[in-house]
Amino acid sequence: VKLDLTYTVIQAHDQPGDKSLPEQGGVLQLKKANFNRALRKHKQLLSSCHYAPLSAEGPHVSAAFEGAAAELQGSEVKLAVIDVTKEKDLAKDLNATGPPTIRLYIDGDKQNPVPCPVPQTSASILTWLKRRAGSAADIITDSQSEALEELTVVGFFKDLDQASIQVFYSAAIDLPDINFVVTQNNEVISKYGLTHDVVLLLKKSELIQAYKMTSQTSKEELIIFITVYQMEPVTEYTGETVTQILTSPVLNHALLFVNKSSADISEIYSAFKSAAEAFRLKILFVLVNVDEPRNGRLMEYFRVRDFEAPLIRLVNLTDHVSYHLPSDTLDVDTIKTFCQSYLEGKAKPKMQSEPIPEGWDKKPVKELVGMTLEKVTFNPDKTVFVLFYLPYSRESRALFPLWEELAEAFKEQEDVVVARIDASANDINMSMQRSYPSLCLFPALHAERVVVYTGNRKLKDLVKFIEKEMEKAKKERIKVSRLTGVTV
Ligand SMILES: *[C@@H]1O[C@H](CO)[C@@H](O)[C@H](O)[C@H]1NC(C)=O
Ligand SMILES: *[C@@H]1O[C@H](CO)[C@@H](O)[C@H](O)[C@H]1NC(C)=O
Ligand SMILES: *[C@@H]1O[C@H](CO)[C@@H](O)[C@H](O)[C@H]1NC(C)=O
Ligand SMILES: *[C@@H]1O[C@H](CO)[C@@H](O)[C@H](O)[C@H]1NC(C)=O
């Protein structure tokens, strides 16, 4: 994300006695001291609150504002920006501490601004203002519809006075980046073999999807239909698509973290896409390429590491809870079942840590969770051998009997702990560049050290390994004690 400095490095010229409001590129630069004055002076004041300069939409909005300001010169609409990172009092006064970030103040009314959708371009702003003012869509004829280049929403209504056309118009206002047209031309509709009160989504005159409106259809439903079908079933997360993804009214997202250069990509992608087609309008499917360094921040947010790919996360953008697909096969059925269980509220969220199980340290193999992992493993008096497993993976489960045997073998030794942890349900907060199952030994040292076991998965080899590591740790402790004078 590029920082936009034009708005953060503002020269404020609003000195006492100077009655002109500070401007840059035709856009007012407002703060607490001059906001009310601007409100009184301009019949329509479209103001944008800038939050962190890192916000994804920052640069778009700034360019759109400057472009629109040039077009609107001499009109009754004035554009303004407020840097709310500095103007905290004003933001509070305007109740602008959260979205929407762009509001239109009309006739000096500070209390009831109209929220404006985040514009992609200056044309978005101009279209929004025009549609708000009453020309939400233009009546077109059949011949014009043939020439449509881009995505167009065509509403076919028999009677232009009915209520559903009002719903159609209000959707058009909220989606200023999309062409909307209304037609009563029967030829248009018969061409697609449809009836009245239908909304068609056309791209280059090709029908993508049709939507039948009823008297019950709400603006929100219509907007979801348009914004969903305007996108492909699967959208790759990139700088170009991020705004579209984050402003989608679909608030359930399925994210596939995958290496696009990996050998099995086409198989996984096609499974993901088939599932996407089954859940359109309900879940937005997004592909995240883990081989793209620019996706690092997103992966950090979801705590996904590249070696864990491919994996799928579902996220509820309403409460920001994420869910991990519990499977090591990503086929259509698995993905669909997971999505369905999520929508039915049956999926288990991914947690930092599971609760500590009762009697976790009573059995031979200790049951660790995120909360207890570091406390138990980094113990200078104990050698701790941990199996990091995935409960749904056959390879992981195959190691359970071996781990029981190992624990049994060291039953009498208080300084050896054999443990395991479910790596799918707990966030493992250690940098282990390994896939699961992973066998890790934590030596009895005053240092946070991990030794990954890569030898034979046989009892006698494991026992030998533990004994060797204990011997090494002992020597090291003696060396350290000679240096520091601390007895071991
Ligand atoms: C302030 O914003 C909150 C949340 O968006 C809203 O519920 C509330 O009505 C707003 N208050 C005013 C005075 O606009
Ligand atoms: C993605 O796969 C390619 C080809 O196998 C490999 O060279 C690359 O290192 C992988 N990237 C990551 C982040 O794993
Ligand atoms: C998403 O979170 C909201 C708020 O907690 C909740 O009402 C909704 O049911 C959740 N959606 C799903 C599919 O779990
Ligand atoms: C993970 O490790 C970091 C750095 O050591 C620490 O700040 C953070 O609190 C840890 N998180 C959990 C859940 O233990």
What's the half-sphere exposure (Cβ side, CA atoms, 13 Å) at 448?
8
Q: Is residue 359 a part of any domain in this protein?
A: no
| Residues 89 and 177 placed together within one structural domain of the fold | no
| Domain that residue 299 falls in | 234-343
What are the residue ranges of helices labelled H in 94-218? 122-132, 142-146, 163-174, 186-191
Give residue 376 CA to ligand 4 midpoint distance, Å: 15
Residue nearest to atom 13 of ligand 3 (CA): 343
Place of tokens 């409460």: 319
pLDDT of 84 reads 80
Reduced 3-state DSSP string for 314-348: EEECCCCEEEECCCCCCCHHHHHHHHHHHHCCCCC
pLDDT of 58 reads 61
| Residues 242 and 225 placed together within one structural domain of the fold | no
Residue 18 makes CB contacts below 8 A (sequence gap 6+) with none
10-residue averages of pLDDT along the chain (488 residues): 27 43 88 92 89 54 88 91 86 78 91 88 91 70 58 83 86 90 76 78 86 90 93 92 85 95 94 96 96 86 81 87 84 96 88 84 93 91 93 86 97 95 77 75 90 94 96 89 68
| Residues 370 and 480 placed together within one structural domain of the fold | yes
| Residues 52 and 108 placed together within one structural domain of the fold | yes
Phi, psi of 241 (to 5 degrees): -100, -10
Q: Is residue 329 a part of any domain in this protein?
A: yes
Nearest ligand to the CA of 431 is: 4
Q: Is residue 7 a part of any domain in this protein?
A: no
* DSSP letter assigned to residue 430: S
Q: Is residue 15 a part of any domain in this protein?
A: no
pLDDT of 97 reads 72
| Residues 42 and 112 placed together within one structural domain of the fold | yes
Is any atom of ligand 2 closer than 6 Å to the C-beta of 433? Answer: no
Domain CATH for 287: 3.40.30.10
Residue nearest to atom 7 of ligand 3 (CA): 318
In b/e form, how buried is each residue of 105-125, taking b as 16+ CB within 10 angstroms?
bbeeeeeebbebbbbbebebb
| Residues 145 and 120 placed together within one structural domain of the fold | no
Say if residues 392 and 341 touch (Cβ distance below 8 Å): no
| Residues 218 and 180 placed together within one structural domain of the fold | yes
Task: Report how many domains make up the chain.
Answer: 4
Q: Is residue 13 a part of any domain in this protein?
A: no
Residues near ligand 3 (Cβ within 6 A): 252, 316, 318-319, 342-343, 345
Nearest to 443 by CA among 479, 472, 480, 405: 472
Pairing of strands 311-316, 252-258: antiparallel
| Residues 120 and 145 placed together within one structural domain of the fold | no
| Residues 371 and 477 placed together within one structural domain of the fold | yes
Q: Is residue 9 a part of any domain in this protein?
A: no
* DSSP letter assigned to residue 90: H
| Residues 442 and 477 placed together within one structural domain of the fold | yes
Q: Helix, strand, coil proportions of the chain in percent (round to 5)?
A: 35, 20, 45
Distance CA 45, CA 108 (A): 8
Looking at 311, 343, 375, which one is the last position of a domain?
Answer: 343
Question: Would you mind telling me the total number of residues written for the chain in this entry?
Answer: 488
Mutation test residue for ligand 4: of 426, 429, 450, the one with most atoms within 8 Å of CB: 429
Say if residues 241 and 235 touch (Cβ distance below 8 Å): yes
Say if residues 288 and 255 touch (Cβ distance below 8 Å): yes
Looking at 89, 116, 132, which one is the last position of a domain?
Answer: 132
Place of tokens 């509820």: 316
Place of tokens 């060291």: 410
Dihedral angle computed from the Cα positions of residues 342, 344, 350 and 356, in that order, rounded to the nearest 10 degrees = -150
| Residues 149 and 170 placed together within one structural domain of the fold | yes
What's the half-sphere exposure (Cβ side, CA atoms, 13 Å) at 97?
5
Give residue 269 CA to ligand 2 midpoint distance, Å: 16
> What are the tokens at 462?
């494991």
pLDDT of 129 reads 92
pLDDT of 74 reads 86
Phi, psi of 143 (to 5 degrees): -65, -35
Looking at 132, 159, 194, which one is the last position of a domain?
Answer: 132
> What are the tokens at 281?
């309008």
Is any atom of ligand 2 closer than 6 Å to the C-beta of 261? Answer: yes
| Residues 334 and 238 placed together within one structural domain of the fold | yes
Distance CA 307, CA 4 (A): 34
Q: Is residue 10 a part of any domain in this protein?
A: no
Distance CA 296, CA 303 (A): 10
pLDDT of 434 reads 62
Q: Is residue 78 a part of any domain in this protein?
A: yes
pLDDT of 14 reads 36
Distance CA 51, CA 92 (A): 13
